[in-house]
Amino acid sequence: MSVQPLRWEDGKLLMLDQRLLPRRVVWLTLRTHADVAEAIRGMAVRGAPAIGVAAAYGMALAAQAGADRQVAMAMLAAARPTAVNLFWALDRIAGLPSWEPDAVLAEARRMEEEDVACNRAIGRNGAALVPEGANVLTVCNTGSLATAGYGTALGVIRAAWEQGKVSFVYSCETRPRLQGLRLTAWELIQDKIPFAGIADGAAGSLMRAGKIDLAIAGADRIAANGDTANKIGTYSLAVLARHHRIPFLVAAPSSTIDPKTASGAQIPIEERDEIEITEIEGVKIAPEGCPVVNPSFDVTPSELVDAIVTEKGVFRAPYNFAL
């Protein structure tokens, strides 16, 4: 079982700095909710479920410091726009009857434990959809690092692997931030699951060559109609999977479903800094003055999603998550 990205210790939140992985394993010590907001914004922690739990711990730090609850919530909510789990977690803390530090911390801990249990349930539910001997394609990082532990889409792969159903995993490197090559590869190596990293552009030709039986992605927000926002490139994979008649699954906790968002058109898509494209690890790769467009997420319309796997079960089109 691979590392968990968050740890509460002596009134502080320790956070594995995922920007430095796999080269360096560095734990940040976060003492205030502002530290947590900055860590979320800067992507020291990423992955929708992990962001949610980190924000809950951020609220525990705010309560401990006697900060104003509304102000702390607003600061954490502004850290990133697309993943709904962030707002879901803050709403849950806001709904507590008390702003007493121990109560807030207990709730954050509960959310962390629940997320791991939830991911194990997603894994079980999803593994049932994985054919024997499957070659599975995935994108970005949806593993232990993206959650409180175990993972969503990578949790499904883990569970199916534990059941002997997975032959091989292809991990799209996932530019610009290369989470598939840096983080998913790191987790797969630790779990000794056979895999290869690939350039994002290689997914189509692998599918055409019959080397992919199943594609599975996580989600940052799922609209009421099943439209799914996830890491940029996910939509392209869904189109390619449909073209090749390969099942395309989304795995996420039910907290990723946002019944208040009617369709994908209403999901705000974060545009991140150009430097994510123009530089890699501080090395400039684009020419001076090169303009870039860098949307961090895209939306996959529900008709391309064969199933949405949650801890509560597997949903299939037509999706209707409206309250």
Positions annotated as catalytic residues are 220
Q: Is 89 helix (H, G, I), strand (E, B) or coil?
A: helix
Site string for a second copy, 123-142 (x = CB under 8 A): ----------------x---
* Residue choice 20, 65, 96, 239 for contact with a second copy (CB under 8 A): 239
Which residue(s) pair with 30 in the sheet?
Answer: 13
Total number of residues that touch a second copy (CB under 8 A): 59
Structure tokens at 245: 């008649």
Q: Which two structure tokens, joined as six digits, stand for 143?
A: 């593993």
Least distance from a second copy to the Cβ atom of residue 174, Å: 7
b/e sequence 294-309, b meaning 16+ C-beta within 10 Å:
bebbbbbbbebbbbbb
Type of residue at 175 = R
Q: At 137, is the secondary structure helix, strand, or coil?
A: strand
Other Cβ atoms less than 10 A from the Cβ of 56: the count is 29
Interaction between residue 71 and a second copy (CB under 8 A): no
Q: Does 25 bind a second copy (CB under 8 A)?
A: no
Q: Which is nearer to a second copy, 124 or 272 (CB)?
A: 272
Which C-beta is closer to a second copy: that of 164 or that of 289?
Answer: 289
The span of 44-52, 56-64, 87-95, 231-239 binding a second copy (CB under 8 A) equals 231-239
The reply on whether position 161 binds a second copy by CB under 8 A is no
From 44-52, 109-117, 240-248, 254-262, give the range in contact with a second copy by CB under 8 A. 240-248
Q: Which stretch binds a second copy (CB under 8 A): 31-39, 59-67, 179-187, 253-261?
A: 179-187
Which of 22, 42, 210, 313 touches a second copy (CB under 8 A)?
Answer: 22
Nearest Cα to Cα of residue 6 among 73, 57, 80: 57
Amino acid at 17: D
**Per-residue x/- track, 187-226, a second copy (CB under 8 A):** --x-----xxxxxxxxxxxx-x------------------
From CA 278, how far away is CA 287, in angstroms rounded?
8
Site string for a second copy, 272-301 (x = CB under 8 A): -----xx-xxxxxxxxxxxxxxxx--xx--
Residue 196 sits at φ, ψ, to 5 deg, of -140, 140
240 binds a second copy (CB under 8 A): yes
Residue 249 engages a second copy in binding (rule: CB under 8 A): no
Helix (H) or strand (E) holding 117: helix 101-127
Q: CB-based contacts of 248: which residues, under 8 Å, 6+ apart?
A: 215, 216, 217, 237, 238, 241, 242, 300, 304, 305, 306
Instruction: Report the interface residues with a second copy, using CB under 8 A.
Output: 21-23, 139, 170, 172-176, 178, 181-182, 185-186, 189, 195-206, 208, 231-236, 239-240, 242-243, 277-278, 280-295, 298-299
